Amino acid sequence: MAPRETRATIERVRRILPDLHRLELGVEEGIARLKPGQLLLARLSDEGWDPYLAERWIPVALSGRTVTIERAAGNHYAPGQIVSLLGPVGAPFPMRHNLRNLLLLALDTPPTPLILLASLAVHSKIEVTMVLSGQAAQYPLDALPEEIEVLTGSLEEGWPNQVTTVGWADQVVSVANPQYRHLLYPALLAKIHELRADVPRRYVLGLFDLPMPCGTGACQGCSVSCKGSRDHLTCVDGPALDLEEVNFG
Ligand code: FES
């Protein structure tokens, strides 16, 4: 479904950490059918291009016509506020078929973009293990789906049962602190290759949460350098990309 402009109402605001809010939005039906990986570009103001760069709003739960998103505190959000939305933006996570075990990693950043995927996966009887490293370990466990296994650790030091969790995983999906992404993703790839003989296509996905000036593939502003014939636009091909295809050099 192509992204389109719509309006939504903030129905509830809940603080889950001093610097993290969850907002429940009343949305139109098309927006409520977001898939894990897709996001919304939001403007709180109804004043056209204010702010110029829309905020990237990441859904963490869907229920009927309500989409719950998670935002770092900073802006003032209040019930009744009207929001201009563009969405759904991006492609759903390119998941492999016949998943039974899924390994999710939040590398020194909150696991927000992985939560909807984790919820829907456990609903589909997929075993989910989530590894929280660095500042991700501060994330409140009661804000994660209770059916998933949560471990803490790091790429350097490892995590409990690291060999087993990687060996059993049918796919790995990760999000990394944007400041260190260029280091963390290659380190993750190296670790997976160290622990597995077979790393098929689309096995290790990484999220690229870049600013999105247009959200429709028109401006090339969210391009990621890739090894193949063309670079990828995170607003069209992403935000999750196969890390084997990304050019980190
Ligand atoms: S945000 Fe414009 S091409 Fe992706």
Residues 6+ apart with CB under 8 A from 16: 22, 70, 140, 143
Ligand 1 atom nearest residue 235's Cα? 4
Q: Is 221 touching ligand 1 by the criterion CB < 6 Å?
A: yes
* Domains of the chain, earliest start first: 4-89 (2.40.30.10), 101-204 (3.40.50.80)
Out of 41, 208, 222, 237, mutate this one to test ligand 1's pocket (max ligand atoms within 8 Å of CB): namely 222
Report the alpha-carbon distance of residue 175 to residue 70 in Å, rounded.
15
Torsions phi, psi of 199, nearest 5? -125, 90
Q: pTM of the entire structure?
A: 0.92
Q: Residue 45's pLDDT is what?
A: 62
42 Cα to the center of ligand 1, angstroms = 15
Q: Residue 49's pLDDT is what?
A: 47
Q: Residue 157's pLDDT is what?
A: 93
Q: DSSP 3-state helix, strand, coil percentages of the chain (rounded to 5)? A: 20, 35, 45
Beta bridge partners of 12: 24
Report the alpha-carbon distance of residue 150 to residue 162 in Å, rounded.
12
CB burial readout 93-127, b (16+ within 10 A) else e: bbbeeebebbbbbbbbbbbbbbbbbbbbbbeeebb
Cβ atoms < 10 Å from Cβ of 133: 23
Q: Is 215 touching ligand 1 by the criterion CB < 6 Å?
A: yes
229 Cα to the center of ligand 1, angstroms = 19
Report the alpha-carbon distance of residue 171 to residue 217 in Å, rounded.
27
Q: Is 217 touching ligand 1 by the criterion CB < 6 Å?
A: yes
Q: Is 89 touching ligand 1 by the criterion CB < 6 Å?
A: no
Cβ atoms < 10 Å from Cβ of 79: 11
Residues 6+ apart with CB under 8 A from 178: 109, 209, 210
Beta bridge partners of 6: 85
Q: Residue 46's pLDDT is what?
A: 54
Mean pLDDT per 10-residue segment, the chain (249 residues) = 86 89 89 89 66 82 93 83 90 92 96 96 96 94 94 94 94 96 95 92 93 85 85 90 89
Q: Is 188 touching ligand 1 by the criterion CB < 6 Å?
A: no
Q: Residue 52's pLDDT is what?
A: 60
Q: Residue 129's pLDDT is what?
A: 97
Out of 52, 214, 224, mutate this one to test ligand 1's pocket (max ligand atoms within 8 Å of CB): namely 214
